[in-house]
């Protein structure tokens, strides 16, 4: 029989379990970093708005003080002069806006007239519809020239409407001097009336002045470039480069 009084056992005994200490993880999360960035940005923004509003209030107070001093110094006579000057400026602007350039009217006719047509007379009438009506009496040498003249008027960008009427044909006799004697001859003349309509926006004086100023500025710029180009040519000629090029071209020819 086995002696059970003994404390010894066949099962091995384990000592007390020791807990292992885990090292704390130093992990930095992206959300935390973004939160700090937003927080600091908001703080900086609040500080900037505070100082900017303070600067604006200071400038506003300064402007109010200056305006009050200017009002105290400003007199009624000065105000009357300002009002009178403003009235003159408004009047000048209205005159420029409502005035038309007669030169532009004749330029529109000159650009559209064909070689075989001559203007015998012309009447200019200004209408309340902000247009200018021209009644022209024109002579041509053939019926085809009359049709061609009407098409040229219709293609002109300054002219909005053209009406050709009262077409008549007449024969004019004249005498030509020959080598031995005078010879009688005749010539057919086609006469017609042309009603031409030109709008204000193409012949306004203000637009013409603005266009001429732009053309003058462009011409000055081109002349400056041409002067610089001529000066560069003169420098090349002094160096003898142009003469060498001419000799090569003559040999090639």
Structure-model confidence comparison of residues 109 and 13, the more confident one: 109
First to last CA, the chain: 140
Is the confidence at residue 142, as pLDDT, over 50?
Answer: yes
Structure-model confidence comparison of residues 13 and 91, the more confident one: 91
Confidence of residue 221 (pLDDT cuts 50, 70, 90): low
Rounded Cα distance, 139 and 165, in Å:
12
Count the helix, strand and coil residues of the chain and give each as a percent rounded to the nearest 5.
55, 25, 20
Q: Please report the pLDDT score of residue 244 as a whole number.
A: 40
The label of the residue with tokens 């011409």 reads 219
* Per-residue tokens: 123: 């009447």
Question: Residue 59 burial by CB count (10 A; 0-12/13-18/19+): exposed, middle or buried?
Answer: exposed
Is the confidence at residue 16, as pLDDT, over 80?
Answer: no
Is the confidence at residue 231, as pLDDT, over 60?
Answer: no
* Per-residue tokens: 9: 């056992």
Rounded Cα distance, 158 and 197, in Å:
9
Confidence of residue 158 (pLDDT cuts 50, 70, 90): confident
Q: Name every residue whose Cβ is closer than 8 Å to that of residue 165 and which is 6 or more positions away in sequence.
A: 192, 193, 195
* Domains parsed from the chain with CATH numbers: 102-206 (3.30.1360.100)
For 236, the 3-state DSSP assignment is helix
Task: Provide mean pLDDT across the span 86-94.
Answer: 87
Is the confidence at residue 177, as pLDDT, over 90?
Answer: no
pTM: 0.46
């Amino acid at each position: 029989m086995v002696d059970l009084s003994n404390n010894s056992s066949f099962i091995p005994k384990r000592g007390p379990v020791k807990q292992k200490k885990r090292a704390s993880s130093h992990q930095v999360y992206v959300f935390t970093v973004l939160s700090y960035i937003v927080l600091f940005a908001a703080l900086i923004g609040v500080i900037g708005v505070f100082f900017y509003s303070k600067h604006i209030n200071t400038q506003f107070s300064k402007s109010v003080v200056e305006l009050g001093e200017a009002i105290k110094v400003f007199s009624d006579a000065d105000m009357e002069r300002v009002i009178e000057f403003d009235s003159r400026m408004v009047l000048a602007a209205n005159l420029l806006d409502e005035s038309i350039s007669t030169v532009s009217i004749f330029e529109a006719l000159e650009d559209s007239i064909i070689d075989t047509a001559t203007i015998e007379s012309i009447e200019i009438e200004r209408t309340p519809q902000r247009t200018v009506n021209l009644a022209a009496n024109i002579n041509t040498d053939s019926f085809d020239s009359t049709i061609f003249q009407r098409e040229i008027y219709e293609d002109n960008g300054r002219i909005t409407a053209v009406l050709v009427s009262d077409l008549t044909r007449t024969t004019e006799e004249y005498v030509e001097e020959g080598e031995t004697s005078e010879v009688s001859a005749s010539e057919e003349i086609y006469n017609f009336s042309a009603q031409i309509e030109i709008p204000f926006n193409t012949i306004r004086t203000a637009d013409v002045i603005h266009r001429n100023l732009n053309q003058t500025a462009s011409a000055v710029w081109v002349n400056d470039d041409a002067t610089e180009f001529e000066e560069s040519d003169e420098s090349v000629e002094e160096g003898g480069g142009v003469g060498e090029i001419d000799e090569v071209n003559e040999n090639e020819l």
